[in-house]
Amino acid sequence: MPEWWTYRLSDFLMFSSRTYYRLFELYNRELWPGQLLAVALGLVLLALAGRRGTWQRRVVTAILVAAWAWVGWAFHWRRYATINLAAPYFAACCAIQAALLVANTLWRRGLSPPQPPAPDRIGLGIIFFALVLQPLIGPLLGRAWAGVELFGLAPDPTATATLGLLLVAEESWTLWVVPTLWCLAGGATLWAMAAPDAWVTPALATVALVTRAVRRRRGVSR
């Protein structure tokens, strides 16, 4: 794109904020009562995130694979692509993340176990935020409850919960790329719409990345 540096973030916003939030409302309406399954899987994820057993790690990884595959196909490919020309690329990134997680399961039996003596509290905190608090932000800001964004269905809480799990598991950077990029893209979209919660996902990604980097530099688990 010529003179790309002269564009502002808002120049790339193809739709109104009303259209964006309506997309989630219609999406949730179509999926009901699938939200109950998403919440149940989220609670399972939260319960198993700090466990070290092999099957627990496999269940956590399987839930993440399902979440990324579903968000890529059902949200980005089928819904978001109707208003955003970039959405098919987002869907492809989700598919890549799901494939990387599958490969991780095949080669390494799922995400790494949490390091002793105890699971990372910051990582667990991010997971809890993504599953429980992040969905409340929209309604608390006056958006419709019908448009609530849940882990496993909507991209933002799926990406932040994944980063929390990767922090707990102290996984390799390969698995961090897509969720981190989505946190930036999702935050940029909200920023272009002047949404007051635009900082949330980039901030959570930054916390997760910095925490991981600091621990890696120290060369110890904690």
Partner 1 sequence: MFPSARLDRRSLLRALAAAGAAALLRPGRAIAQSTPLLTRRIPSTGEELPLVGLGSWGTFNVGEDRVARDACAAVMRGFFDAGGRLIDCSPMYGSSQPVIGYGLEQLGMPARLFSADKVWTSSGDEGSAQIEASRRAWGVPRFDLLQVHNLLAWEEHLPTLFAMKAAGKLRYVGITTSHGRRHAEFERVMRSQPLDFVQFSYNILDREVEDRLLPLARERGMAVIVNRPFQRGDLIRRYAGTRLPAWAADIDCTSWPQFLLKFIVSHPAVTCAIPATSSVAHVVENLGAARGRLPDEALRRRMIEFVRSV
- Binding residues for partner 1 (CB under 8 A): 2-3, 6-7, 10-11, 13-16, 18-19, 22-23, 26, 79, 82-85
Nearest alpha carbon to residue 147 among 158, 157, 132, 136: 136
For 3, what's the count of Cα atoms within 13 Å in the CB-facing half-sphere?
4
For helices 87-108 and 155-169, give the axis angle rounded to 10 degrees: 30
Using the minimum distance from each CB to partner 1, give the nearer residue, 84 or 104: 84
Kindly tell me which of 18 and 218 has the beta carbon lying closer to partner 1: 18
Token output for 209: 């990345």
Task: Quote the least distance from Cβ 191 to partner 1, whole Å.
Answer: 15
Q: Is 147 in contact with 138 (CB distance < 8 Å)?
A: yes
Please, what is the minimum distance in Å from the beta carbon of residue 14 to partner 1? 5
Task: Between 51 and 79, name the residue whose CB sits nearer to partner 1.
Answer: 79
In the bound complex, what is the minimum distance in angstroms from residue 76's beta carbon to partner 1?
13
Show the tokens assigned to 140.
């608390």
Structure tokens at 64: 């993440």
Cβ of residue 147: shortest distance to partner 1, in angstroms?
12
Q: Which is nearer to partner 1, 80 or 182 (CB)?
A: 80
